[in-house]
Amino acid sequence: MFPLEGPDLTLRKSAQAGMSVPGRAAAKTRILVLEEHPLLRDGIADYFNSQLDMIVCGESDNISDARNKIAECKPQLLMIALRLGAGDSLEFVKALKAEKPGLLILVYSAFEEEIFAERTLRAGADGYVMKTAPKEELLAAIREILTGPSFGGVCYRH
């Protein structure tokens, strides 16, 4: 049986909430960005790396490479495009959640139909953000996922 409180849990909760713990450097959330377009991927990585509480630990342009990067850099959160040139993002999300239930997954997409959000969330994603959302909403979605859903739901922003 594991304790519900204690130093390890307090540190984890504080780091996830973006708060610092006295006597310790604030932990940064490790993010892997999976996007096939280099310009978009680089822009996302630069934006996340400019945040005090986030760091991009890896980048990938395909599902096969992303599997290797996950094992290599051990991200806390995977940000994945809904449609990639090769491979099925939804099947990848399902498989990852089965293999690594603790990995948080945020899907982002250019598709405005709410049906895509519903499908990704049913596949196991922790959140869904439209590519048309302002960058502040992207950060808010990530932070909401990290701190856990307030009412047992998942994060969906359009």
Q: Tens digit of pLDDT per residue, the chain (158 long)? A: 323 333 333 333 444 444 444 555 568 999 999 999 999 999 999 999 999 999 999 999 999 899 999 999 999 999 998 877 666 888 999 999 999 999 999 999 887 667 788 888 999 999 999 888 899 999 999 999 998 754 444 455 44
Helix (H), strand (E) at residue 106: strand 104-109
The model's pTM: 0.78
**CA–CA gap between residue 129 and residue 133 (Å, rounded):** 7
Q: Are 57 and 84 in contact (CB under 8 A)?
A: no
Q: Are 73 and 87 in contact (CB under 8 A)?
A: no
**CA–CA gap between residue 47 and residue 22 (Å, rounded):** 27
Every domain of the chain and the residues it spans? 74-147
CATH topology of domain 74-147: Rossmann fold (3.40.50)
Q: List Cβ<8 Å contacts ≥24 apart for 125-133.
A: 125/93, 125/154, 126/154, 126/155, 127/154, 127/155, 127/156, 127/157, 128/154, 128/155, 128/156, 128/157, 129/155, 129/157, 129/158, 130/157, 130/158, 132/158, 133/157, 133/158
The Cα-based distances of 43 to 16, 21, 89, 147 in angstroms read 23, 30, 21, 25
Please give the pLDDT value at position 17.
43
